Amino acid sequence: MRIFKDIATLLRSNDCVILPDFGAFILKSKSAYIKKNEFFPPSKYVTFNSMLKDNDGLLAKYLCKERKVSYKKSLNMISDEVSSINEKLSKNLIIDTECIGIFELKDRETLIFNPDLSINFDTSFFGLKPFIREPLILNTSKEKDNLTQNNSNYLLRYAAIFITAIGLSYFGYFNYSNYINTEKLKNIAIAQDKILENIQTATFNLGELPPIDINVSAPLVNNFRYYSVIAGSFRSKRNAEKQLNNLLRNGYKASYTSINPKGLFRVAYARLNTRKEAAELISKIKDSGQDAWLLIEN
């Protein structure tokens, strides 16, 4: 279909070309971009708008000039082309324009246009094709890897030398310390032997010492025994003090005795020198209705 070639030619100098009773072909700009290692220049590609169908005269005037026909004849030619396009779409459901893209009739109702993105309608970059260039970063990466590897080798070499130096220094210091300690022990042993020799050969002249008289007597053993008449034993010291003060107010010679093995505070009516005195006091206390018991304290 020659009409699409005429439209493609007009799109080189116009951003919009209308095919009457079919639709409008509109250019859309696209910036330069990179896809993997391929560089694509700025471009303009064709889009399609089926809503713009009114004749603007651009295509008809172009046909008049190129085909040397009247304006009316050019309109008839356009009408015949549109009828042929619709007939082929209804039959084949697809048309390849070979210069701007492919039309597809989907579900026999929806017209879809797939532009040919390989065609660049931007005259500023006309003839500039995409190109592939190997990324420099690969070589740089290799050089960087080699440099890094060399640096790593140098670092490992210096680290090995440094560690060896430290090891030798430590070994030398350790041997030197052992030598010093050994010499110290030898000197101490020699000094001790010399002192012992002097002590064995020394003589002491202390002169005559005056006689010392020492009187030795046997220690006095206190076998004194108390016969305590116990009034009670208390875990609380405060309660023991109350009992002690009560007995003192009643005329007893009350006092504390030795502490109970279980840690109790024992309060006595009196601590007497003979068992007879204790027995008489216990009898007197029990006659008054109170209780008491005897504790012998050595």
Contact assessment for residue 116 and residue 96, using Cβ atoms and an 8 Å cutoff: no
Whether residues 235 and 121 fall in one domain: no
Task: For the full predicted model, state whether its pTM sits above 0.85.
Answer: no
Residue 184 lies in a domain: no
Whether residues 127 and 230 fall in one domain: no
Residue 98 lies in a domain: yes
290 closest CA partner among 235, 242, 230: 230
Determine the structural domain holding residue 253 and report its residue range: 226-297
Last residue of a domain, one of 132, 155, 184: 132
HSE on the CB side for 144, CA within 13 Å? 6
Residue 209 lies in a domain: no
Residue 54 lies in a domain: yes
Which of the residues in the chain have pLDDT under 70?
A: 36, 125-128, 134-155, 158-160, 162, 164-224
Residue 141 lies in a domain: no
Residue with tokens 């070994």: 171
- What is the phi/psi pair of residue 120, to 5°? -105, 115
Give me the pLDDT at residue 103, please. 92
C-alpha 53/C-alpha 86 separation (Å) is: 14
Give me the pLDDT at residue 250, please. 92
Residue 57 lies in a domain: yes
C-alpha 103/C-alpha 86 separation (Å) is: 11
**DSSP states of 255-271:** EE-SPPTTSPEEEEEEE
**DSSP states of 12-25:** TT-SEEEETTTEEE
298 closest CA partner among 225, 230, 221: 225
Last residue of a domain, one of 132, 153, 187: 132
228 closest CA partner among 272, 165, 162: 272
Contact assessment for residue 222 and residue 233, using Cβ atoms and an 8 Å cutoff: no
Which uninterrupted H or E stretch holds 46? strand 43-49
Whether residues 127 and 232 fall in one domain: no
Inter-axis angle of helices 71-92 and 58-67, to 10 degrees? Answer: 110
The number of domains in the chain is: 2
Give me the pLDDT at residue 181, please. 62
- What amino acid is encoded at 124 in this protein? S
Partners of 17 in the β-ladder = 25
Q: pLDDT tens digits for 217-260? A: 444 444 568 899 999 999 999 999 999 999 999 999 999 988 77
Give me the pLDDT at residue 19, please. 93
Residue 95 lies in a domain: yes
260 closest CA partner among 226, 232, 225: 232
Residue 73 lies in a domain: yes
Q: pLDDT tens digits for 12-41? A: 899 999 999 999 999 999 888 887 677 778
CATH number of domain containing 258:
3.30.70.1070
Last residue of a domain, one of 80, 97, 132: 132
Encoded tokens for 287: 């006659």
C-alpha 124/C-alpha 27 separation (Å) is: 14
